[in-house]
Amino acid sequence: MPTRTPHTDSGSAPGPYRRTVSALRLVVVGGALSYRALFNWTTPPMFIGTLLVGPLLQLLFFVFLGRQLHVADDRFYLLGNAVVSASTACVYGGTMAVANERRYGTLGAVLLSPRNRAPLWFGRAIPYVLNGLVISVFTLSAACLLLGLRIPVEALPGLGAVLLAAAAGCSAFGLALGALGLRFRDVFLVSNVASSVLLLLTGANVPRETLPAWMRALGDVLPLTHAADAARQLSAGGGLDGRGIVAELLTGAGYALLAVVLLALFERGSRRRATLDVM
Amino acid sequence: MTLVRAVRLIGVGVRTHVSYMSRSPLEITFAVLVPLVYATLAVYLFRAADDPDRLLTAAVGAGLMGIWSSVLFGSGGAVQNQRWLGTLETLVASPTPLSLVLLPITLATAVIGTYAMGATVLWGAVLFDVPLDFAHPLLFLAAVPVCVLSLGMMGLLLAATFVLLRNANALANPLDAPVWLLSGMLVPVTVLPDWTRPVSWALPTTWGSRAVHAATSGGAGAGEVLVPMGVALGLGALYALLAVLVLGRVERRARAAATLALA
């Protein structure tokens, strides 16, 4: 007869290894589960239509606008829009990752969990980083094929790094906007405006030197701005602009920090006012 | 149903839905704030191109883009919203033809879109000192409602096709930019490849935009405004007729398969 070994609780806290594994599991498994549950555009028609075809058609719109106005060449619009194409998935995804918990009535259960908030929320951003990267690569490849633009092969690894940094920064930006979903009802309203503002202020479609100084300053602290510049430089054969990538990563880190602070602040406020699930 | 009752139904429906949508922050954002961002972008691009004479065209073009976006998402949402609210079956079962129920919604989305036109033109005038020197001010005031009407009728055809699709937004989201492009709302259609011309000509949005732009910019005679207005209305009516036929077919199919709420 088999004997069952009773579970014994030694009473000691788990070691650093177990804590790390547990946190990683929360990041990866929790992130994947929340992506499946909370991202509204995972069905193939929505993913293809909204996240792949939409940005590509938007890119073509701006390329033809640029050709008409002779403000900049195709390369400028192509690279700028390929970088900014990640914003649909990252901004809306980051928002949905937090705001939809409240919308679907599961926020209370999530916040009852004793788990550390940083891996809990950052795990949710990772699928959108990957989504953003896939979308940018698709948009860039499809647009290059359609418009006949050539990018030097040696620039591709650097371009991949720039697009990854852009997607990471933009996802952190989306998460920070999503944090507002703990406090405000119509957070998608903010996401819509933010997504449009990125088109204007990041220099994806308007050369930044033609914008007023205050708009350039705002663009400097937005995600995608530095990545768009670095991507253009790379595709023109100018080599990898390390400062551009670092600036993009720092911007993303700033939004990640802002997201953590806002999430903690709004969580505490919601508990105090008992307004966690009030829509 | 008599013509008088149909007109009354459309009038009351448009008023109801315009009031309803005007109270939605999301609708207002789409109708006003997002077009303002596009207007700003267009003005800076036209300035960068050293083309200050066409700043009013840029502001009006951004307004037209806003009207189309409003119709597109409104029409997609017209059916989807009823589906989510659980009222689609009731509307289909009512003795009023479904097309007459949906037309006021799509027309209302186009009317809400005029907020975009007003906002972008005013934004340009106040912030960028864009002079409001319309070539034909009265014709402009006539061309915008005609454009709105034709777009609303086009929206009915969109709504009709969206009845069948559960993910109507999947179709609506990528349709924004191509129609801006193919209709010459901000970029003249002459910039596009030749093969796109027949597609442009088949869109009421192209003729509506042409009428509005001709009334805005100098050098165009009254005929260049009135003829596109007529074509936009004619095409809009054709789209509405097609929508009635499609809706009848879709409705019969959905009833037979009992999939109206699930389609």
- Quick: pLDDT tens for B221-241: 888 899 999 999 999 999 999
Q: What percent of chain A has pLDDT over 70?
A: 94
| Mean pLDDT, rounded, of chain B | 87
How many other CB atoms are found less than 10 A from the CB of residue B132? 13
Encoded tokens for B22: 């005007």
Banded model confidence at residue B60, pLDDT cuts 50, 70, 90? very high
Q: Which of B37, B38, B192 sits opposite A64 (nearest CB)?
A: B192
Q: Which of A224, A149, A61 is nearest to B174 (CA)?
A: A61
Per-residue pLDDT, averaged over B31-48, amounts to 90
* pLDDT attached to residue A259: 93
Per-residue pLDDT, averaged over A126-131, amounts to 93
CA distance A51 to chain B (A): 9
Contact residues on chain A for B73, CB-CB shorter than 8 A: none
Task: Determine the residue among B24, B26, B29 to mutate to test chain A binding: the one whose Cβ has the most chain A Cβ atoms within 10 Å.
Answer: B29
Q: Say yes or no to pLDDT of A11 above 70.
A: no
Q: Say yes or no to pLDDT of A10 above 70.
A: no
* Higher local confidence (pLDDT), B10 or A107: B10
In the 8-state DSSP scheme, what is residue A7?
P
Q: Where are the domains of chain A?
A: 21-273
Q: Which of B34, B45, B47 sits opposite A192 (nearest CB)?
A: B34
Q: Which of A120, A156, A121 is nearest to A141 (CA)?
A: A156
Separation of alpha carbons A84 and A227, rounded Å: 9
Q: Say yes or no to pLDDT of B3 above 90.
A: no
Contact residues on chain B for A68, CB-CB shorter than 8 A: 187-188, 191
- Of the given ranges (A12-16, A222-226, B165-169), which has the lowest mean pLDDT? B165-169
Banded model confidence at residue A23, pLDDT cuts 50, 70, 90? confident
Q: Is B219 exposed, middle or buried (0-12, 13-18, 19+ CB in 10 A)?
A: exposed
Contact residues on chain A for B54, CB-CB shorter than 8 A: none
Residue of A nearest to B41 (CA): A200
Per-residue pLDDT, averaged over B115-128, amounts to 92
Residue of A nearest to B182 (CA): A61
CB contact under 8 A, A206 and B26: no
Q: Which of B79, B59, B72, B150 is nearest to B109 (CA)?
A: B72
* Higher local confidence (pLDDT), B255 or B213: B213
Q: Which of B103, B58, B81 is nearest to B212 (CA)?
A: B58
* pLDDT attached to residue A157: 92
Task: List alpha helices for chain A, DSSP H.
Answer: 16-25, 31-38, 44-46, 54-69, 74-84, 86-103, 107-112, 117-147, 156-179, 187-201, 213-220, 225-235, 242-273
Residue of A nearest to B165 (CA): A45
Q: Say yes or no to pLDDT of A5 above 80.
A: no
Banded model confidence at residue A132, pLDDT cuts 50, 70, 90? very high
Q: Which of A48, A68, A192 sits opposite B29 (nearest CB)?
A: A192
* pLDDT attached to residue A3: 47
Length, in residues, of chain A? 279
* pLDDT attached to residue B199: 95
ipTM, 2 dp:
0.87
Q: Say yes or no to pLDDT of A135 above 60.
A: yes
CA distance B7 to chain A (A): 34
CA distance A48 to chain B (A): 8
CB contact under 8 A, B46 and A69: yes
Per-residue pLDDT, averaged over B71-86, amounts to 80
CB contact under 8 A, A43 and B178: no
How many other CB atoms are found less than 10 A from the CB of residue B136? 21
Q: Which of A113, A84, A106, A92 is nearest to A224 (CA)?
A: A84
